[in-house]
Amino acid sequence: MADTAQTSPPTDRTDLPQPQHSAVRSLLRLWPFARPVRARLLIAACVAVLASCVSLVIPLVLKWLVDGPVAARDPGGVWLGGAYLLLLGVTEALLFGLRRRLVARPLARVEAAMREALYRHLQRLPVSFHDRWPSGQLLSRGTTDLQLVRLFLAFPLTFLLVNATTILVGAVLLLAQRWSLGLVLLAPVLPLMVLCSVFEAKYGRAARRTQDQLGDLTTVVEESVLGIRIIKGFGRHRSQARAFRQLTHALRTSELRKARLLAWILGFITTLPEIAIGAGLVLGTLQVTEGVLSPGTLVAFLSTALALRWPVESIGFLLAMANEAASATDRYFEVMDEPAVDETAAGTAATAAPPPDRTTAAGQDTPAAPGTGGLVFSGVAFRYPDAPPDTPPLLQDITLHIRPGETMALVGATGSGKTTLTALVPRLYDPTAGRIVLDGRDLATLSRDEARALVAVAFEEPTLFSATAAENVLMGDEDAQDDDLRRALAVAQAEGFVDALPDGSATQVGEQGLSLSGGQRQRLALARAVVGRPRFLILDDPLSALDVHTEALVEAALRRVLSTTTALVVAHRPSTVLLADRVALLSGGRIAAVGTHHQLLRDNREYATLMSGEGEGAR
């Protein structure tokens, strides 16, 4: 087990009150990504406005047609009017098709750019961030949320502008044709604005709740797929299905709430204008019978009003899509706003006072003088960033010197902080006090890239990727050649099973390397650590999954590697401890004793208990 603190991930936040955000302010954050395609978006919007205005010319043609050729019983004029109407309809259709063509390709680039930016940022975020955030939440932000953003940029963004322009131009035409009838049709505008404002606030909260629940559901699905062996092995498929049903039920409830809100606003948006159109039709008909209004004007008036039905009725779902996009944008930038780690920049050296000298007789290491080679921990302390402030540090005043070319075994009970201490060396975390020195260079003054070029790590839980066996090993050194690959496989005693794979080292090992056994995965991870001939090697119980015979072979080959590097090896078994020149006992977050294996067996009761298999940390 890794000795890492468990933190509460930001999941299932749907029961918490969501902060109020302006949808417009949220969506404006998309501008840096949309800026490169702003010209295409502007041209597309202008084309859509032009197409919408063309549709408003049709009622004017109808007015001319009814009051002119129809009233005069002129067939030629009627045919000419029909040709005008056909031409206007085809023009409108072509313009809307051109708008779609203008936005499709650039918006696909915007979505791709946002997804690439998110992926790059995730790679630069500290490990503590990934400790807190479940992968399903991150996955939903990089897929579903970005699809909502692209759909907003493609459709609602343009048509909110187009429909607003259409309604404004249509209102002017209505008032110009007959101001009394125009006022009747425009009467619902004020109540609709109030209703839309209320709807926007409620729908925004519902959309955020739904997207968060979808992220939680994605996490459960991903965990179920990756942990299918555990689920089947323990017969937990029913409980997992029950948890999945609970989440899907909650998501369904939220989606139905969104549907009710949308039905409610669409009902009002449809009903109020229809009532106004009906009232305008009755009043207009009376005015025609009284002779104060021409039939063509009434036809044009009603045609204009009907042409405005779509822009008005679409306001509801356009606002809904805009609010979903705003929530998706907020979720996207929640991740992007997390402070990233500059892999190429050096850190700030800790200013903690140097620890007091320790003597070997007291069972603890002697701090090395400045400039001493090897790996030196001086007064190192560490507390996880999200740990409660009143809890003591996980590591306190760690002082240890691993001499150049020496192998130090790190032994301790479960939860003593062994894995956390080893994670400080490649700068997966930075100590909160003290300093770490690599061959006389303060680790805090090195960039993470430099530190990781010096240090190679093999973790207790080997992680492999959906790539070939060779590609997984060569992740340890991009410049390694085939000879280096073969040497690393030989050290890890992995040559035999790798060569026996269907395509040898070119065989795909599958997601998480689950097509291999635990011992095979561990040996590939060990090969990855040694392929680059690192100056410093950190091994976190690297042989725990191996059988006794293979373990002995790996240990024999590993001794040759350890003789040429400075190594810190987390060990739980005497066979692993015997690889080391000296042993450090970690207890209570401190180095309790340092010495050879036989010295500590004789002089330290806690160490002897751990090695005898009677202690908590024994395996």
98's enclosing H/E stretch is helix 75-124
For residue 5, name the pLDDT band (cuts at 50, 70, 90). Answer: very low
Burial call 192-230: b when 16+ CB within 10 Å, e when fewer: beebbeebbebbbbbbbbbbbbbbbbbbbeebbeeeeee
Mean pLDDT of 23-35: 88
Tell me, what's the pLDDT at 11?
Answer: 46
Residue 124 burial (C-beta neighbours within 10 Å; 0-12, 13-18, 19+): middle
Tell me, what's the pLDDT at 4?
Answer: 39
Higher pLDDT, 118 or 514: 118
Mean pLDDT of 359-380: 62
Q: Is the alpha carbon torsion for 172, 174, 179, 181 positive or negative? A: negative
Q: CB atoms < 10 A from the CB of 618, how many?
A: 15
Q: Inform me whether the pLDDT recorded for 359 exceeds 50.
A: no
Q: Which two tokens stand for residue 397?
A: 């005043």
Q: What residue segments make up the domains of the chain, in order of their start?
A: 23-336, 404-423+446-612
Q: Same topology for domains 23-336 and 404-423+446-612, yes or no?
A: no
Q: Inform me whether the pLDDT recorded for 424 exceeds 80.
A: yes
To 10 degrees, what angle do helices 315-336 and 135-142 make? 130
pLDDT in tens, 265-282: 888 888 888 888 888 788
CA 126 – CA 124 distance, rounded (Å): 6
Mean pLDDT of 52-57: 81
For residue 357, name the pLDDT band (cuts at 50, 70, 90). Answer: very low
Tell me, what's the pLDDT at 414?
Answer: 84
Tell me, what's the pLDDT at 20?
Answer: 52
For residue 298, name the pLDDT band (cuts at 50, 70, 90). Answer: confident
For residue 401, name the pLDDT band (cuts at 50, 70, 90). Answer: very high
Question: Can you list the pairs that 80-86 forms with residues at least 24 positions away whose Cβ atoms lie under 8 Å?
Answer: 85/58, 85/61
Mean pLDDT of 40-65: 82
Amino acid present at 596: T
pLDDT in tens, 535-555: 898 888 777 767 677 777 777
Tell me, what's the pLDDT at 617?
Answer: 40
Q: Is residue 10 classed as helix, strand or coil in its secondary structure?
A: coil
Quick check: 4 and 131 in contact, CB under 8 A?
A: yes
Q: Is the alpha carbon torsion for 474, 479, 485, 487 positive or negative? A: negative
pLDDT in tens, 191-246: 888 888 888 788 888 888 988 888 888 888 877 877 776 777 767 778 888 888 88
CA 346 – CA 458 distance, rounded (Å): 24
pLDDT in tens, 179-199: 877 788 778 878 888 888 888
Tell me, what's the pLDDT at 362?
Answer: 39
User: Model pTM?
Assistant: 0.74
Q: Which two tokens stand for residue 390?
A: 């009143």
* C-alpha of 600 from chain center: 47
Backbone angles phi, psi at 163, to 5 degrees: -70, -35
Q: CB atoms < 10 A from the CB of 452, how many?
A: 17
Of the candidates 208, 220, 211, 223, the one whose C-alpha atom is nearest the C-alpha of residue 143 is 211
For the domain made up of 404-423+446-612, give the CATH fold. Rossmann fold (3.40.50)
Q: Inform me whether the pLDDT recorded for 585 exceeds 90.
A: yes
Going by their DSSP bridges, the two strands 455-458 and 441-442 should be labelled as: unpaired
Q: CB atoms < 10 A from the CB of 455, how many?
A: 23
Q: Is residue 376 classed as helix, strand or coil in its secondary structure?
A: strand
Q: Computed over its alpha carbons, how large is the radius of gyration of the chain?
A: 35
CA 195 – CA 193 distance, rounded (Å): 5
Going by their DSSP bridges, the two strands 582-587 and 407-412 should be labelled as: parallel
Maximum C-alpha span of the chain:
120
Of the candidates 563, 562, 529, 525, the one whose C-alpha atom is nearest the C-alpha of residue 544 is 525
Mean pLDDT of 64-74: 77
pLDDT in tens, 87-108: 888 988 888 888 888 888 888 8
For the domain made up of 23-336, give the CATH fold. ABC transporter transmembrane region fold (1.20.1560)
Please report, for the chain, how many H helices and E strands are present, in that order: 25, 10
CA 458 – CA 475 distance, rounded (Å): 12
Q: Is residue 438 classed as helix, strand or coil in its secondary structure?
A: strand
Quick check: 321 and 156 in contact, CB under 8 A?
A: yes
